[in-house]
Amino acid sequence: MTAVRATAPRTPLGRRFGLLMGALLLSSLGNGLCFPFTSIYISQLLGLGGRAAGGYFIAMAAASFAAALAGGPLADRGSPHQVGALGGAALAVGYALLAPAGSVALVLASGVCVGAGFGLFYASIVGIVDTAVPESGRRSAFAIRHIVNNAGIGLGSVAAGLALHGAATPVGALRWLYLANGLAALPLIAVTLGVRPRARPGHGPAGLSPSPPLPETGAPPQTPRSRGEAPHTAEPHIDAAGKGWGEEKPAEPSGGGPTYRTLLRARPMALLILAQALFAIVGFTQIEATVPLLMHDRMAVTLGWVSAVVAANSFALIALQPLLRRRLERLPETVSLAAGPVLWTVAFGCGLGAALAGEAAPAAVRYGLLLAFAVIFAAGELMYSSAFYPLLLRWSGEEAVGRASALASLAWNLGTASGPPIGLFVVANASATGSWLALALGAAAAFTVAAALHGRTAGGV
C-alpha cells in the first residue's frame, strides 16, 4: 500500500482554481506596485505630513478589524464568494481613491476602504479556495496560493521600481500606479463570483454538501494516509471544550454554527490561532522587515546582496513547491505545521553562522550561508502554508469557515503589526550574532506552540 500511495497520481486542482490564482496574481501584482511607497506618497509627495500617513494606516487597521469580524459570519450565512467580491470591490475603490488624493479626508476614506477590503477578502478566501479544489488538493492549493501572493507582490515591486526610476515627477507616476492597483482588483471580483459553485438540491448555499456524521470512535482526527483515496470523508469538529473528536455533530440550521467565542474555547483551535499570530511575529515579518536591516546595518552586506537574498527566498518558494509537494501531502498537518518553525530556527542558525564568520571569511562561505538561510526559510514557509488552512477548515467545519478565517486574519494582522517593531528593536540593541540568536529563539518559541497543538490532537483531549 505504501508503494501505491507513493506513486499516486497528482490531484488536478482544476480550471476554477487556475482562474482564481491568475486573478489573485494580478491583484497581488497591483499591491506590489504601491505598498512600499504609501507612507512616502502621503506624507512627502502629497505634502500631507506624517500624521496623515499615520491616520491612513490606523484607519486601515481599524476598518480591517471590523470588516473581518463582520465578514466571517456573513461568509458563513451566505456565500464566501459574495463576501470576497465585496472585499475586492472595496480594495479597488480604496486604491483608486489614493490616485487623485490631495486632502486628509480622501486619504482617510481610502484607508477605510482598503482596510475593509482586506478584512472582507481574507475572511472569505479560505472558503473560496476550498470550494474551487477537490478535498485531496487542499494542501497543495493553499501552498500555491501563498506562492502566488508572494510572487505577485515581488513582480509588482520590481515593476514599480522600473516605473519610478528616473521619473521626473514621482508623485504623478505613483498616482498612475495606485490607479493601476485599483484596476488590478477588478478581475478578482469577476473571477471570485464566476468560480462560485452552483447550489444543488440537498446542498448548502455555496454548493457544499453537508458532511455525513462520523462513527463515535472517540479517536482524535487523523490525516488520511492518502487524501485522494477518500475525497468525501467527513472531517470531525471541535466542541466548545476541545473534546469529542470524531463524534457525531448534530445538524445545525443554515447560518448557525459556532460563534467566535465557541471557536476560541476549543483548545486546539485557540492554539492554532495563537500559532498564526506567532508565525507572523517571529517568521514572516522578520524576513521582510528585520533581516534586510540586520544584514545591511550589522553585517555590512551590500544592498545588492540584500536584494539577492530576498529574491532567493521568493524563487525558492516557487522551486521547492513541486519538489516537496508529495512529501508534504504524506505528513500529518500538525507535524508539517510544527516543522515550519523548526526549519526557520535552522535558517536563522545559518544567518548566525554568517555573522560569526564575519567579513574576513571567504565570500563563498558568508554569502552561501545567507543564501542557505533564504532557501531553508522558504521550505518552512511551505510547511506552514500547506498545513495551516487545511487544519483551520477541518476543525472549524463548513458552517464556521468564515468565522475561523476571520480569526486567522485578525491573528495575522496582530502579528504583522507587532513583529516589525519587535525585530527592529532587537537589531537596534543587539549585535549581529545576538540578533540572529534572538530570531532563532523566537522561532523556537513558535515551535513550542505548534508542538503543543500536535501533542494535544495526536494524544486526544
Q: 449 exposed, middle or buried (CB, 10 Å; 0-12, 13-18, 19+)? A: buried
Residue with grid cell 518553525, as numbered in its chain: 341
Q: How far is CA 296 from CA 290, 291, 292, 351, 404, in A?
A: 10, 9, 6, 13, 39
Predicted local distance difference test score (pLDDT) of residue 373: 96
Sign of CA dihedral 16, 22, 26, 32: positive
Q: Under 8 Å CB-to-CB from 33, ≥6 apart: which residues?
A: 156, 157, 159, 160, 163, 177, 178, 180, 181, 184
User: Whole-angstrom Cα distance, residue 348 to residue 292?
Assistant: 13
User: Whole-angstrom Cα distance, residue 34 to residue 183?
Assistant: 13
Predicted local distance difference test score (pLDDT) of residue 193: 87
Residue 433 C-alpha cell reads as 550574532
**Residue-by-residue pLDDT tens, the chain, 461 positions:** 333 334 344 556 778 888 888 988 898 888 888 866 777 788 778 888 878 887 888 888 888 888 888 888 888 777 788 888 999 999 999 999 988 888 889 999 999 999 899 888 888 887 788 777 777 777 778 778 878 887 887 788 778 777 776 666 678 888 888 899 999 999 989 988 887 765 544 444 444 434 333 333 333 333 332 333 333 333 334 443 343 333 333 334 344 567 888 888 888 888 999 999 999 899 988 887 788 889 988 898 887 788 788 778 878 888 888 888 778 778 888 999 999 999 999 999 999 999 999 888 898 999 999 999 999 999 999 898 888 888 888 888 777 888 888 888 888 888 877 888 888 889 889 999 999 999 999 999 999 999 998 887 765 44
Q: Under 8 Å CB-to-CB from 226, ≥6 apart: which residues?
A: 5, 8, 136
Measured from the Cβ of residue 78, the count of other Cβ atoms closer than 10 Å reads 16
User: Whole-angstrom Cα distance, residue 433 to residue 358?
Assistant: 10
Residue with grid cell 487623485, as numbered in its chain: 100
Predicted local distance difference test score (pLDDT) of residue 56: 85
The kind and range of the H/E element at 228 are none
pTM score > 0.75 for this model?
Answer: no
Predicted local distance difference test score (pLDDT) of residue 227: 30
Predicted local distance difference test score (pLDDT) of residue 57: 80
Predicted local distance difference test score (pLDDT) of residue 49: 83
Predicted local distance difference test score (pLDDT) of residue 36: 62
